[in-house]
């Protein structure tokens, strides 16, 4: 109990009997108890309404008579999602079969604000409207995929696509040994 009622002084001269003065204070402890009980209950049993979502629209399934859209090498940029939260990237196209195209230079970065985001922003300034190919490898985490799609939103990329990593790109990662 948080309150101790002070006993009214009795005795003395047997004068007029005064009405006992009650203190106007209410013991609020049970109310606090109840409030915190409810609070804990709500904190433990509920979730915040409506989680956020990210839209992902995949291209319509390819039919045989539609050819792959050609991407200009000058616009293309590939981001490969590797293991241990690494993001490999290179500019241009990687076609080992075609000897006329020089092999792209592989670079590596991470998903922090100073990592891939700066690369994307710099690229955007140098070459407006890049086409970005996002290729998650087998070792990539789903979190990386969401992160990179998120970067696309943050840096306002117009054209990007989520594609499967081809063998040539995986070889390139191995060769670069980054």
126 binds other proteins, rule: CB under 8 A:
no
Neighbours of 120 (CB within 10 A): 23
Q: For residue 132, give both structure tokens.
A: 């970005």
Select the span of 2-10, 14-22, 87-95, 167-175 touching other proteins (CB under 8 A).
2-10
Among positions 50-109, residues that touch other proteins (CB under 8 A) are 50-61, 81
**Long-range contacts from 97-101, C-beta under 8 angstroms, 24+ separation:** 101/73
**CB-neighbour burial class of residue 170 (10 A; exposed 0-12, middle 13-18, buried 19+):** middle
CA-wise closest residue to 170 among 75, 106, 85: 106
Distance (Å, rounded) from C-alpha 104 to C-alpha 90?
Answer: 6
Considering the complex, state which of residue 38 and residue 101 has its C-beta at the smaller distance from other proteins. Answer: 38
The least CB distance from residue 102 to other proteins, in Å, is 29
> From the CB of 11, what's the least distance to other proteins, in Å?
18
CB of 85 vs other proteins, minimal distance in Å: 11
Q: Contact between 2 and other proteins (CB under 8 A)? A: yes
Among the listed residues 101, 154, 161, 178, the single contact to other proteins using CB under 8 A? 154
Binding marks (x or -) toward other proteins, 18..57, rule CB under 8 A? -------x--xx-xx--xx-xx--xx-xxxxxxxxxxxxx
Size of the site for other proteins (CB under 8 A): 56
d(CA 91, CA 176): 14
160: exposed, middle or buried (C-beta count within 10 Å: 0-12, 13-18, 19+)?
buried
Beta pairing partners, 162:
134
Residues that bind other proteins (CB under 8 A): 2-4, 6, 25, 28-29, 31-32, 35-36, 38-39, 42-43, 45-61, 81, 113, 117, 121, 124-125, 136-147, 149-150, 153-155, 164
């Amino acid at each position: 109990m948080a309150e101790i009622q002070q006993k009214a002084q009795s005795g003395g001269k047997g004068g007029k009997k005064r009405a006992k003065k009650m203190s106007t204070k209410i013991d609020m402890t049970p109310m606090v108890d109840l409030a915190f009980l409810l609070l804990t209950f709500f904190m433990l049993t509920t979730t915040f309404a409506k989680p956020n979502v990210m839209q992902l629209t995949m291209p319509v399934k390819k039919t045989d008579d539609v050819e792959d859209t050609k991407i200009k090498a000058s616009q293309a940029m590939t981001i490969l999602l590797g293991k241990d939260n690494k993001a490999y990237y290179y500019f241009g196209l990687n076609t080992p079969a075609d000897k006329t195209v020089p092999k792209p230079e592989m670079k590596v970065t991470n998903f922090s604000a100073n990592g891939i985001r700066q690369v994307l922003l710099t690229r955007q300034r140098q070459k407006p409207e890049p086409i970005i190919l996002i290729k998650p490898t087998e070792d990539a985490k789903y979190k990386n995929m969401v992160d990179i799609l998120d970067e696309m939103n943050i840096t306002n990329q117009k054209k990007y696509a989520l594609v499967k990593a081809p063998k040539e790109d995986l070889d390139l990662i191995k060769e670069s040994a980054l």
